[in-house]
Every structure is written in structure tokens, then in C-alpha cells.
Amino acid sequence: QSVLTQPPSVSGAPGQRVTISCTGSSSNIGAGYDVHWYQQFPGTAPKLLIFGNNNRPSGVPDRFSGSKSGTSASLAITGLQAEDEADYYCQSYDNSLSHVFGTGTNVIVL
């Protein structure tokens, strides 16, 4: 159903760097639409983490960063902390489907 593909899970030890990919197509990310990222803890609503490909809202730690190239985008977490264990979703716009979300990635802190 989701047109943006993410790995189901990524893991890393505290202090390490992890990246989450978000793969789309020429009708969404590749068409030039911005990518946004959300963080979600179990039982709570998603929270905006990165907007406009690589911008952090006020209050989001600078260990979170985003990038976009071609038909894909990535979220990087540097200096991984235990509190970063959560689900992460990318989101963009699609020419046919309007707003689309990624399949979601569970980040596991070892």
C-alpha cells in the first residue's frame, strides 16, 4: 500500500550512527517533492522530526539529520541514544496519490 519503502528495522549500539532509507519513485520524491520524517513511540502520536528534507523543528536534537537525492531520502541519527528507540516514518507527496508515508522503520538500540 505504501509507495515509499523503508527497511523494517535498523539497529545500533549507543553512540553509533544509523541511517534509514526511504525509497520512492519519479512520481513522488523524484518529482521534486520534499521529504519529511516523523518519530513515533508506542501508543503515542507521530511527531515531526525533519521537514523539508533536512530541516529540524525547534527542539529536535542536532543528532538527527536528513538528506535527499534523486528518488530517495535518508534519515541519519548520530550518537545514537537509548531514547531514540522508536518507529520512524518518511512522508512526501505523490502526483497520483497525494500525501504518502513510508512503510516505517523500527530503530533498535542494542
State the residues that interact with other proteins by CB under 8 A. 1-2, 34, 36, 38, 44-48, 51-52, 55, 57, 89, 91, 93, 97-104
Q: In whole angstroms, what separates CA 47 from the centre of its chain?
A: 11
Name the residue nearer to other proteins (CB basis): 44 or 83.
44
Residue 10 beta carbon to other proteins: minimum distance, rounded to whole angstroms: 16
Instruction: Count Cα neighbours of 43 within 13 Å in the Cβ-side half-sphere.
Output: 0
Name the residue nearer to other proteins (CB basis): 48 or 110.
48
